[in-house]
Every structure is written in C-alpha cells, then in structure tokens.
C-alpha cells in the first residue's frame, strides 16, 4: 500500500450492557484461560442504562495497538488484552469495501494495528461488572471490524479470556456460562437461556450502598478464595450439588418467570458467595452495614 | 421439721468467668440435650474482669424455686433451667452442719426449694457468652449447696444442658468441649486442656464495636444454620476434616504457646463461623463495618 492509501480509517462502534450474576461465578480452575469451577447464570441489564460503548478503528497509518478507557490512555500490554486481540486476529476474514476502495486480506490483518476507545457510563470496579461489559464490547467490536464469521458462542469463549463474566454479556436477557470440561477451554462458553423479551416486567434496581472502589479485585479475591477457603470446595463440587442444583432450579425459575424462586435462589447464592469471601484468608468483605440491612429485608415479609 | 426449724437458710456463692471460643461451637445435633455437631475450644477469661456471681440459697421456708437475674425476677419455667435443677437434685447427697443443727438427707433435697440470685458484671446477650457463665455458675453453686460429689466432667455435662458453651466455663485456662457420640449425651463433656497459669502472658482484648443487643439469639441462629446452610455440613463433617483438623492444630498451638498459629486458627475459624451465618436463610450478621476492619487488620503485617 502506498502513502496515499494509508489515509483510510475503518471504524466499528459497539455497545454492550453489563450483567449481574444471579448464580455467581467465583473461582477459576485455570487462571490463564479463565476457566471457572462452576456454571453461572446472569441477567443482562438494559444497555440504555449501564453499558460500555467501544469504538475500534484500523488504519495502515497506525503504528501500534493503542487503547483509551474513559478518555485516558490505557496499556494493552496485559495478557488478557493480548489474548483477545490475538484470538480475534487469527479469525479475521478478507474485508472489501469497493466504494471506499479498501481491501484487507486475512493475511494483512495480522500486520494492521487498531485503536480502541472505550467508555463506561457507570462506575468502574465497583461491583457492576465493568470488565464484563468492557471485554464483551471489545471482542464484539473487533470481530465486526475484522469480519470474523464465528458465532456468538465462539466470541463468548474469547471474551471469557479477557474477563470471565464477559462471556455472558454478549447476550441480552438471561445467559448461562457453561463451565466446560476441556483443558483448552473450548467448551467453556456462554449461551442464551432466554432473550430480553421473555420476562420484560422483571426490573433490576441498583442501590448504591458505597461509592468507593472495591478493596479487593475479583481476580485477586477469587484466587485467594480458591487457595484458602475450605467452604468454596464444597460450594462448587459436583458431588455436593450446591451450585449444580441451584443452576437447574434457576433455569426453571427463569423459564417459568417464577419470581419467588428466582429471588430466593439469587439471594441465597449471593449470600453464599459473600460467605465464601468471608471464609477466605485474609477475609474479603464486599458487603457493608447498609447492604447487610438490604440483604435482611429481602427475607422479610413486606 | 417444726416451725422453728424453718428459720435456717443455707447459702452458697460462686463466681464463674465467661469464655470465648477460639474454635467455634455452632450447630446442634440434638436440640433438647444440647449436643453439638463439632468439638470446640475456648479460652476462659479472667473472672476478675467478666464473670457471673451466683448465690443459691435453700430454706424450708421457701415455697417455690425462684430466680433473680441482675436484680430482676426471672422465670425458671424454661426447660433448660428445669433440666439443670433436676439433674443436680438427683445427685444431691446428705448434708450435715452440726454447729447450725442442719441436717438434710438425700431424699429431703427433692422437696426443698431454692432461691437463686445471679449477677453479670458485663452486658447480657451481646456476644460475650453471658449464658455460658450463667449456667456454669448456677450448676456449680447448686452442686456445692446440695453436696453433689460428682466431678467437673459430670457437672459440665449438666451445665451443657443449660447452655452448650457453659460446659467450658467450669474450667480456667483452656477448655475443650468434646462433642461425644452417645445419643443420651453422657460423653458430651468439657475437659481442661491447660490451666490459667500455662500461658499467663496471653491477653484477651475485648473491643466494643456495638453496644446493641444481638438481633438473632445463638439458639435461633444455629438452628437456622443447621436447617438451611449448605456450608455448615461441610464445616463439621468428620470426613471433611475442617473442624476436626483445626481442633488438633489448636490443641497443639495452645500446648506450645504458639501465638502465630493460635491467632491464625482463631481468626480463620471465627470468619468461617460468620461465613456460615451469612449462608443461613435468612442470613445472620454478627459483624458490622467496624468488626470487618478489625478482622482485616488481624491479617495485616504490623
């Protein structure tokens, strides 16, 4: 390509909502591939409210991959970003825009650099799964840009390698992350249980009980839990049937739009997740006095 | 006995300290006999600081059993009080005081009534084991009064039927409540691991993080946990070795005055107990934001 042809810029913008787990993901069996120790289920929030908007651009004039998060440049050196970029690039397909005179072959994508600009319209690292929305959006936007033809299941397994719960943010409505069994993670993907129209009078209220950033990152916290909590083993083990049983009941509750069961299971599983955090050395506290009262009031007749 | 002989009153006063479990008792396998689902270990506090003082009196002029707690009359109708009174009475022995001209035969104890006055010099139902000190003191004072000749092990199994952890308050220093295996509870007794001189530079600091009475009684809380918490099963099961392993390690730490191990085990077990409370439906919160910070600082290098 000559100097003249370096002037073009190809851009794709995507928007991805965050998701709130109702059966929690907590603990990895493989840190690098981000493979979980149990299935999880989430509700995808309405992108009108909490979402990430990511624009990805490619141009022969870009000399390196770069990223800006909420307007501030952010290093892409981390393994998780590199893995997502590599996975998407390896699936890139020929792209042709005859009107603009742009043609990028599968081979050329390997040497083209991208610029990424991502915005969250909600607080980062405050328990609202900003990394889930962020990685889901990044992977989806890059896949569109590079004309990747794989299905959402495959994209979900790539987003998973950025942030575990990101795999669930590729679907609206209700999503299930199947933990999978393969060592290479190929079957650890998210699937949609029901779309956003299935239960459209279900409303999620987010109450802000603290505006401070959480003190322990999910990555560090779940690693400590897996290494030190004796209770987490029981929670996830197939033989114990704690989470596996809840997954089955939660799928049934969603299918039947059974709010009493749905809320009972979500509260019980959330409390058990916080219990495992407390059983971790050193203990992790994601609740405070205000959320304690809220958790209790969820069980009071009203 | 004539009218004249009704004038005598025989009194015994005892003082019993409270105890703080370092491997927690939480959950009964028998509600009536108060038989626990796991062994527990406690440190008995210095009676100079937190203790119950109980005076028991007997007189032919008393026409019913009565009790005053902190100066206020208190019903003895509850099954726990009745069981302790009955157990002690059944073990009463002949009593003779020639100087005062009092003679009470084993048989006569059955028809004599007692008056009980008990004082706690610390808050009741605030997590400081007031019922442990109270029942230990009651049983010990009654046993002295009625000339019971059984050993402390037997008395501990009677105190246990008043309040589980009371069995540990009959000993100074470090006590272990052996859960036992028999259905009738005969082997569910407390034993002394080491006396109060064994580790005399160990100091317990009690920090008041809330002056409010706890919202869930231990009795109700542990019943709910046993019925609803899935994690508690794992905690106590012999096969899982969580508590049994900690008991062995804690006994070793006490024997060797090994403070790093002692404090690590005590903190971990306390956090796991709180984790089980959180996993209970409805969840039980015995910690607040202040105790969270204290629990965390226990793990920080200082």
Work out the average pLDDT over A54-79.
95
Greater model confidence, B23 or A123:
B23
pLDDT of residue B5: 60
In the numeric block, the tokens 């809220």 are attached to: A294
pLDDT of residue A141: 98
Residue A134, helix vs strand vs coil: helix
B299 to chain A, any CB pair closer than 8 A? The answer is: yes
pLDDT of residue A209: 80
Task: Looking at the complex, report in whole angstroms how far the Cα of residue B237 sits from the nearest Cα belonging to chain A.
Answer: 11
**CA gap A16, A36 in Å, rounded:** 22
In chain B, whose CA is at the least distance from the CA of A292?
B285
- Give per-residue pLDDT as tens, B119-163: 998 877 666 778 999 999 999 999 999 999 999 999 999 999 999
Q: Which of A37-51, A152-166, A221-235 has the highest mean pLDDT?
A: A152-166
Contacts of A242 in chain B (CB under 8 A): 230
Rounded to the nearest integer, the mean pLDDT of chain B is 90
- Give per-residue pLDDT as tens, A44-62: 999 888 899 999 999 999 9
A288 to chain B, any CB pair closer than 8 A? The answer is: yes
A79 to chain B, any CB pair closer than 8 A? The answer is: no
Q: Is the Cβ–Cβ distance between B22 and B262 less than 8 Å?
A: yes
Nearest to B283 among A231, A271, A282 (CB): A271
Contacts of B26 in chain A (CB under 8 A): none
pLDDT of residue B216: 85
CB contact under 8 A, B230 and A272: yes
Work out the average pLDDT over B72-99.
94
CA distances, B122 to each of A235, B71, B130, B210 (Å): 39, 14, 8, 14
Cis peptide bond N-terminal to B158, omega within 30: no
Out of A1-10, A104-113, B88-97, least confident range: A1-10
User: For residue B240, what pLDDT band results from cuts at 50, 70 and 90?
Assistant: low
Half-sphere exposure of A155 (CA within 13 A, CB side): 22
Contacts of A240 in chain B (CB under 8 A): 230, 234
pLDDT of residue A175: 98
Here the tokens at position A89 are 């690039």
pLDDT for residue B302 is more than 50 = no
| Predicted model pTM | 0.84
pLDDT of residue A128: 73
Work out the average pLDDT over A2-23.
86
In chain B, whose CA is at the least distance from the CA of A265?
B281
Greater model confidence, B207 or B97:
B97
In the numeric block, the tokens 């396998």 are attached to: B29
Work out the average pLDDT over B44-48.
90
pLDDT of residue A193: 98
Residue A44 DSSP symbol = E
Residue B30 DSSP symbol = E
pLDDT of residue A38: 93
pLDDT of residue A172: 95
CB contact under 8 A, A240 and B234: yes
- Give per-residue pLDDT as tens, A260-296: 999 999 999 999 999 999 999 889 988 888 888 877 7
- Give per-residue pLDDT as tens, A154-176: 999 999 999 999 999 999 999 99
pLDDT of residue B70: 92
Best B276, B282, B294 member to test A by mutation, with max A CBs in 10 Å, is B282
pLDDT for residue A243 is more than 70 = yes
pLDDT of residue A58: 96
Residue B231: alpha-carbon gap to chain centroid: 25
CB contact under 8 A, A231 and B231: yes
| φ, ψ of residue B23 in degrees (nearest 5) | -120, 120
Work out the average pLDDT over B237-252.
85
Work out the average pLDDT over A116-136.
85
Q: Residues of A numbered 197-236 whose beta carbons fall under 8 angstroms of chain B's beta carbons: which are they? A: 230-231, 233-235
As a whole-number percent, the residues of chain B with pLDDT over 70 amount to 94
**CA gap B289, B210 in Å, rounded:** 10
pLDDT for residue A302 is more than 50 = no
**CA gap A48, A271 in Å, rounded:** 28
pLDDT of residue B235: 80
Burial class (CB in 10 A: 0-12, 13-18, 19+), A35: buried
pLDDT of residue A300: 59
Nearest to B281 among A233, A279, A299 (CB): A299
A274 to chain B, any CB pair closer than 8 A? The answer is: yes
Q: Is the Cβ–Cβ distance between A77 and A132 less than 8 Å?
A: no
As a whole-number percent, the residues of chain A with pLDDT over 90 amount to 70
- Give per-residue pLDDT as tens, A189-212: 999 999 999 999 999 888 878 777
Out of A36-40, B1-5, B248-252, least confident range: B1-5
CB contact under 8 A, A278 and B281: no
């Amino acid at each position: 390509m000559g100097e003249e042809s370096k002037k073009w810029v190809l851009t794709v913008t995507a928007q991805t909502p965050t998701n709130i787990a109702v059966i929690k993901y907590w603990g990895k069996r493989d840190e690098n591939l981000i493979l979980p120790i149990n299935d999880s289920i989430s509700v995808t929030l309405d992108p009108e409210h909490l979402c990430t908007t990511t624009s990805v651009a490619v141009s022969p004039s870009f000399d390196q991959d770069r990223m800006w998060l909420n307007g501030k440049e952010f290093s892409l050196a981390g393994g998780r970003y590199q893995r997502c970029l590599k996975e998407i690039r390896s699936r890139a397909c020929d792209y042709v825009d005859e009107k603009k005179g742009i043609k990028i072959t599968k081979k050329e994508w390997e040497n083209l650099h991208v610029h990424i600009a991502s915005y969250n319209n909600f607080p980062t690292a405050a328990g609202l799964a900003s990394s889930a929305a962020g990685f889901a959006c990044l992977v989806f936007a890059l896949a569109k840009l590079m004309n990747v033809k794989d299905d959402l299941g495959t994209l979900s397994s790539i987003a998973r390698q950025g942030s575990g719960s990101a795999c669930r943010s590729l679907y609206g409505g209700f999503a299930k992350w199947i933990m999978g069994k393969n060592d290479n993670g190929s079957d650890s993907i998210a699937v949609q249980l029901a779309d956003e129209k299935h239960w459209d009078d279900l409303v999620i209220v987010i109450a802000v009980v603290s505006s401070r950033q959480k003190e322990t990152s999910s990555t560090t916290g779940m690693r400590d839990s897996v290494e030190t909590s004796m209770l987490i083993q029981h929670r996830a083990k197939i033989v114990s049937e704690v989470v596996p049983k809840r997954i089955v009941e939660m799928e049934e509750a969603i299918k039947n739009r059974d709010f009493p069961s749905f809320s009972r299971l979500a509260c019980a599983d959330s409390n058990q997740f916080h219990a495992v955090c407390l059983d971790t050395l050193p203990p992790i506290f994601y609740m405070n006095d205000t959320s304690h009262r809220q958790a209790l009031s969820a069980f009071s007749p009203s």
